[in-house]
Amino acid sequence: MPTANRLVAAICLAIIGAIVAELVKPLMPEGAYFGPFTYVSAAIGLGVGWVNLGPRAGGGTAVAINNGLTSVIVLVVVGLLGFGSREMLRQALRHRYTEPMEALRGVLEIAMGYGSYLLDIKIIAVLIIGGIVSGLATETAFRRWR
């Protein structure tokens, strides 16, 4: 059921996803093609906020901060696995993998490789501060618009 806290959570995590995507672009190799990278990251944030952070509101300030940080971790994991899966499919169409388990292992390897780009202090700060603010904003929306 659509509620204000779900909407606020979705918008907050979509903004975090877009900001992190823009911060990652300069760290990637020269000549990398990004396409709709920022929009897809924002869409993943929108979904994670709506499904994961929004329904958890209502537990108080400490729980809100915890929920925001947890949702940011979910955003990162879902994003890495999503983009890793996309890259694995691209490589699979070029016949790089011979077995399905090798392809699944490839998703994890690619996701971990992409995750290494997230180990920048600015990105970590945006994720932590954004998670805290998102959790608190979602809690405020829950209390204000029940």
Residue 105: predicted pLDDT? 92
> Does the pLDDT of residue 1 top 80, yes or no?
no
Residue 19: predicted pLDDT? 97
Average pLDDT over residues 40-54: 95
> Does the pLDDT of residue 108 top 80, yes or no?
yes
> Does the pLDDT of residue 146 top 80, yes or no?
no
Residue 46: predicted pLDDT? 96
Question: Could you tell me where the DSSP H helices lie in 49-99?
Answer: 61-92
Percent of all residues in the chain with a pLDDT value above 70, rounded to a whole number: 100
Residue 29: predicted pLDDT? 87
Whether the Cβ atoms of residue 68 and residue 136 lie closer than 8 Å to each other: yes
> Does the pLDDT of residue 20 top 90, yes or no?
yes
Q: Tokens 């979705």 label which residue?
A: 10
pLDDT in tens, 57-93: 988 999 999 999 999 999 999 999 999 999 999 998 8
Residue 100: predicted pLDDT? 87
What's the DSSP call for residue 16?
A: H
Cα(71)–Cα(10) distance, rounded to whole angstroms?
A: 11
Residue 31: predicted pLDDT? 83
Predicted TM-score (pTM) of the model is 0.91
Whether the Cβ atoms of residue 21 and residue 42 lie closer than 8 Å to each other: yes
End-to-end CA distance of the chain: 13
Token digits for 123? 């990105």
Whether the Cβ atoms of residue 54 and residue 3 lie closer than 8 Å to each other: yes
pLDDT mean across residues, the chain: 93
In the chain, where are the structural domains located? 4-144
Whether the Cβ atoms of residue 6 and residue 55 lie closer than 8 Å to each other: yes
